[in-house]
Structures are given as C-alpha cells and as structure tokens.
Amino acid sequence: GLPARVRIHEVGARDGLQNEKTAVPTEVKAEFVRRLAGAGLTTIEATSFVHPKWVPQLADAEQLFPLLADVDAALPVLVPNERGLDRALALGATRIAVFGSATETFASRNLNRTVAESLAMFEPVVARAREGGAHVRGYLSMCFGDPWEGAVPVHQVVSVAKALLDLGCDELSLGDTIGVATPGHVQALLSALNEAGVTTDRIGVHFHDTYGQALSNTLAALRHGVTTVDASAGGLGGCPYAKSATGNLATEDLVWMLDGLGIETGVDLAALTATSVWMAERLGRPSPSRTVRALSHK
Ligand code: HMG
Ligand code: MG
C-alpha cells in the first residue's frame, strides 16, 4: 500500500542555493522561503551554519535567519559542529541537521574528517541540541554510490546510519548525493535498515535526479512505508563537494505524482510552480523541473 499523506522536507533554499555560482541576495532568499511557506510547505530547510569559506553561498546565514522569524513553517538548518550549533542556537533555531557520510572519501572532502571523526564531531552537537529541546535530523550522504569509491555496500550504510541514530538523531535522511540509485537498491537498503532495527517511521529519503531516477526511487520508498521525502523547488541544487551531483528531486515533480496518487501533501502546486518560475528569473535560467516547464508553458 501507499501512505495517505507525505511530509515534504523542502531543501531548495539550502541544497539548491548552496550550489549556485552567483550569490543570491539575502532578501531574495528570504522571499523564496516565504513563498515556499505560502505554497503550503511546512518544513523548509533554510540555510547552513557551516564554515563560510566552504560554502560561501550560505555565508549570510546570520543575516537571513532573523528575516524568517514570521514564516509559518519549521525551518531546520545544517550544523556540522559545535561552532555551527552555537551560531544556530544564538539565532533561536529549533531544528538542526548534522550531515554524515557513508564513505570515507566524501567524509574527508565534505567535512575534513574521517567517518569516525565526523561522528565524534556530531556527538556533542546532537547531545546539546536535544538537551535544549531541538529536533535533530541526521543526514547520511553517499548511501548508494560515491563518485570516487563507486557502489557503496548496504552493510556500510547501515552501520553509519545506526551510529547516527545512536547519537540521538530523531530522524535519518538517506542521501543519494549523486543520484545513482535505482528502485531495487532503495528497497534493499530500506529492508536492511529494518532488519538492523531501524524503523521506517524514522527514515526520510533524499534523492538527487542526476540519472532521472529520483521519482521512481521515491515511489519504491513510499511502497516501503516511508512518509518523509526531501525535494527542492524547481529541482535546484547539487552538492559543491560531490562532482557530478545535479539538483534534488524537484518538489513540483514530486507533488504532481503524489497529487495523482491521491496522497496528501498540503502543497498548492500552482503556487509552488509560480515560486520556482520567480526564482528561475532571479537566477537567470529556467528550472530543470519537467513539471515546472509543463505547467508554466500552458
Ligand atoms: P575544518 O577546516 O576542519 O574546520 O572544516 P576546523 O574545525 O579545523 O576549524 C577551522 C576554523 O574554522 C576555526 O577558526 C573554526 O572556528 C572555524 P579559527 O580558529 O581558525 O579562526 N569554523 C567555523 N566557522 C563558522 N562556522 C562553523 C565553523 N566550524 C569551524 N560551523 C568543517 C570542518 C566541518 C567546518 C567544514 O568542513 C565545513 O564547513 N563543511 C561543510 C560542507 C558543506 O556544507 N557541504 C554541503 C552540505 S552536505 C550536502 O549537501 C549533502 C546533503 O544534501 C545530503 C546528500 O545529498 O547526500 C545534506
Ligand atoms: Mg543533497
């Protein structure tokens, strides 16, 4: 069976904009988040409190976050370490996300740490966030394939996933950072996680659409019982530290499928499409989302 309702975790303002070559003005980012909330998205990842030299695109987090005070949505932010947590908490963030890697190469390139060192870095972050009542998401990157290491064994992913949850993360988001997953692989990983004691209600999926598989992979996850799906408005995105990664599953493509299946999301597809068209104009190029293109050329 399929779920009656799906919670979309919108990542366009973070995963999308972190990959833009040109700096997007802070006020445009704030307006983007406001419009996303207006289209009915209830979880909107706003920005990252990472080192500004590593992701200059999001270096305005201190300026942006206060502009979102009146937005009626949960606004999680990425935090890699205690320095990032301090910055986020100082601004009143109540939902944070740490981001680990299933592979050593990506841990080193994205966090300048081994997998074990990055888990040690997250430990006080998760503990302090939870003590303060914050909700903690644990991202896990390279769950299916890695551009340097190739296919990633399921048992390796399960082991880091369990370690992240053992730190106290409330939920886990399985990242197909470079978009190489296919539905059978998704099913195999979800089954292996269940066998290792990780229940599906704590699992979200985060697909990038490099090979056009994101929607098929999402459907496989929904059939498995997953109800949290990450997507980015207009298909914005990629990852600056993973070569060949393209944008995430486009939120509009996801909503088109879920609407057709009669699965509730609370999202107004017309308002969302208008938001992505507006953002595409600000970025100076069309949205890669098929649904945005189809609906905006009617
Ligand atoms: P490092 O160079 O090892 O940092 O980087 P460090 O701990 O050695 O500290 C060096 C200096 O940086 C210190 O300053 C720190 O205070 C400062 P100094 O004492 O030299 O003056 N510093 C900071 N400043 C501001 N904010 C901070 C911070 N941390 C340290 N948070 C570090 C380690 C983790 C900081 C770095 O590697 C980093 O920022 N990485 C972030 C990379 C990133 O954001 N990648 C994209 C997000 S992941 C993703 O997109 C995948 C995902 O979408 C899922 C998927 O698709 O798979 C989530
Ligand atoms: Mg991503």
Chunked mean pLDDT (size 10), the chain, 298 residues? 97 94 92 98 98 96 98 98 98 98 98 98 98 98 97 98 98 97 98 98 97 97 98 83 77 98 98 98 92 91
For residues 116 and 102, give the distance between their C-alpha atoms in angstroms, rounded to a whole number. Answer: 10
The upper half-sphere exposure of residue 59, i.e. CA atoms within 13 Å in the direction of its Cβ, equals: 10
Query: Exposed/middle/buried for 72, CB within 10 Å: 0-12, 13-18, 19+?
Result: exposed
For residue 248, the ligand closest to its alpha carbon is 2
Note the pLDDT of residue 241: 61
The answer, yes or no, to whether any atom of ligand 1 lies below 6 A from the CB of 278, is no
For residues 278 and 259, give the distance between their C-alpha atoms in angstroms, rounded to a whole number. Answer: 23
* Residue 14 contacts residue 45 (beta carbons within 8 Å): yes
Q: In Å, how far from its chain's centre is CA 187?
A: 20
| Alpha-carbon distance values, 292 to 161, 256, 279, 295 (Å) | 34, 10, 12, 5
Residue 66 CA, ligand 2 centroid: distance in Å = 24
For residues 221 and 198, give the distance between their C-alpha atoms in angstroms, rounded to a whole number. Answer: 14
Note the pLDDT of residue 21: 83
Residue 15 CA, ligand 2 centroid: distance in Å = 6
> How large is the ipTM?
0.98
What are the strands of the beta sheet with 7-10, ordered from one edge? 43-44, 7-10, 228-231, 203-207, 171-176, 135-141, 95-101, 77-78, 47-48
The answer, yes or no, to whether any atom of ligand 1 lies below 6 A from the CB of 84, is yes
The answer, yes or no, to whether any atom of ligand 1 lies below 6 A from the CB of 62, is no
Nearest-CA residue for ligand 1 atom 12 is 51
Note the pLDDT of residue 244: 60
Nearest-CA residue for ligand 1 atom 45 is 110
The answer, yes or no, to whether any atom of ligand 1 lies below 6 A from the CB of 110, is yes
87 secondary structure, DSSP code = H
State which ligand 1 atom lies nearest to the alpha carbon of 52.
25
Predicted TM-score (pTM) of this structure: 0.97
| Cα-trace Rg, the chain | 17
**Residues carrying an active site annotation:** 239
